[in-house]
Structure 1
Amino acid sequence: MLAVLRKEFVQLRRDRLTFAMMIGVPILQLVLFGYAINADPRHLPTVVVSSDRGPLVRSLVRSVETTGYFRVLGAVSDGEAERLLRAGQVQFVLVVPSDFSTRLLRGERPAVAVYADATDPAAAGPALSALQALPRVALAHDLHGPLATLRPGPEPFELRVHRRYNPEGLTAYNVVPGLVGVILTMTLVMMTAMAMTRERDRGTLENLLATPVRPVEMMLGKILPYVLIGYLQVLIVFSAARLLFDVPMLGSFALLSAMVLLFIVATLAVGFAFSTVARSQMQSMQLTLFYFLPNILLSGFMFPFRGMPGWAQALGELLPLTHFVRIVRAVMLKGAGWADVAADAGAIAAFLLVVAVVAMARYRQTLD
């Protein structure tokens, strides 16, 4: 028994990747769940649409910020507010009538509108709930003395909330589009990562290395078959999204298909890079798990992205799944065009370039 025990410790010492995974995965889970995950996001980006710059409007905006859920970035025009909301750069738009102060001082009850990006109900829900008391308390310190007689009741103005892109707050509208990227990440990285290690385990890698195939040709030959498999998976998910969950497709299917291709190639490049590092199929699976865990937790698929601390959001911006989830939700639910998703597409392309260079460098080391 002692001899077998000693042998196991020797194997653990030699298999440093497995040992690092045994220590690294629990630490990663502890840090992410303990610090990064937050189901109650605050300080969400908000813009104001109003030509009224009076003190009453300023008090209203300050009251919105005091709730802790909103971070007012400034005043913009109607068209700019619509663009920012569709591109996902802001979470809320506060629309105050241009004659808000005048109507309020006349004793009328003007209406203030709040437009929310409700593609993720978990992100918008708590903030909208915090606005329920706003009409009653926002101007309490301004409408006092002689102005108090002008108040047409306990609420001097009316608040109208518009949940854009997902008015009913259906979870399927948020989960199903993001599930496309999650499925591709989980399956394609593993399949490609095991491509080279499978050759090594079967003893056929030496034959491949003896052929005149160049590293780029080897990479493309290993990746291209799985591109078709990835598209098949996407077709299944999109069909289920439409037939079973009635998720709309408001944008261009051609644009979405191009973004899917870009993400599939980037994901497969990650798997190929892992295959040049791993020495066995078991190590390939371990690396896939280590890559998949932060992707699913930091991409905004399971938890609100803006609810995470700054360092977690910075890490999430480095992951391709974060940008792909934004693209799919924007195209399907918002009808976004190329201008709205260009920044996220560029981030995925940059990630693909870096990973491809690393994979080629590692593959040349394998040749040596």
Structure 2
Amino acid sequence: MTTGALQGLKVLDLSRVLAGPWASQILGDLGADVVKVERPGAGDDTRAWGPPWVASKEDDDRQAAYFQCANRNKRSVAIDLATPEGQAQVRALAAKADVVLENFKVGGLAAYGLDFESLEAVNPRLVYCSITGFGQTGPYAPRAGYDFLIQGMGGLMSLTGRADGENGAGPQKVGVALVDIMTGLYATIAVLAALSHRDRTGEGQHIDLALLDVQVATLANQAANYLASGVAPKRLGNAHPNIVPYQDFPTADGDMILAVGNDGQFARFCAIAGHAEWAADERFATNPARVANRSVLIPLLRQTTVMKTTAEWVAALEAEAVPCGPINRVDQVFADPQVQARGMKIELTHPAFGPVPLVANPIRLSATPIAYRQAPPALGEHTAEVLADWLGPAPLPAR
């Protein structure tokens, strides 16, 4: 019988919305016992971020699909942190935990005695991860930070959208809360690194993770391009700043992606397109030349790609190992045979809602595979169960 890679790890999740819950869901998928602490009567904000909803047959109980995306493999406890009793319960749980995740404003948990210094005093082995918009230090530290705001402040929106001068030009956010997702991934990595350190030394530590830092770090090649050249990159629509042709192209019945990564692929594309001479043209023969002459080359390609359907191009180009593909809607994504073969849609049974459709975890481990044990929980569904599991049975009243 296989077990999760993180079986036996106890995670106390005080976070809400997306970045923190995304991290704790990954830890839960990997086998950790994740306890989600929520406000009585309200819970995680995203429980109400609908429609659409996942609902009972009678429609008298429902959860937003948004909440469902980041909260499987967790147990929910309802505890009021504003009360001394609630604070004592969370401190007791933290004393038993390996990891605490939180995304309160800087200093927000200190008023409850639930900040890192307070909990470290009762559990020196604790790994405590704080996720904020701007970090624990710096002039912006007290500010609230949200994904959309950070996409703007962190440069991503300056790189996303149609180029200046084109119809519809202007900054554009990414279609999912990508900074939150990336922050959740970095949080998971940081927690696992801190746990490795703790296992060697016995020492816990505080992780300070900021959405803005994550966004700046993940500018990747665009940041490197700026640092090397001193020139701020601009929006190029779907084009790539360093590779040509690497963008969308119109076809006879829609659009396709052409992602040519080297000169050999370009030569093969030209042969299939009936223009082998382009690959021999000094303006287009090498990638640096194509980047320099993109304004000449791209219109030529567009005049050619409209002569066949997307399916015809994909079949012809894939046969010669030229990277390409359609631009799928989300319904087409889940109908794609590769996505289906990889099992990226799963179902978990919820006691009130029945089968709940979810997206699978993409991690594939041969010895300790991902296990889907628990549908996203009802608010406070496991309060008594968790308090008994982690803290033991409540003492009998005095007689």
Instruction: Tell me whether the two structures share a fold, i.e. TM-score over 0.5.
Output: no
TM norm structure 2: 0.22
* Bigger helix fraction: 1
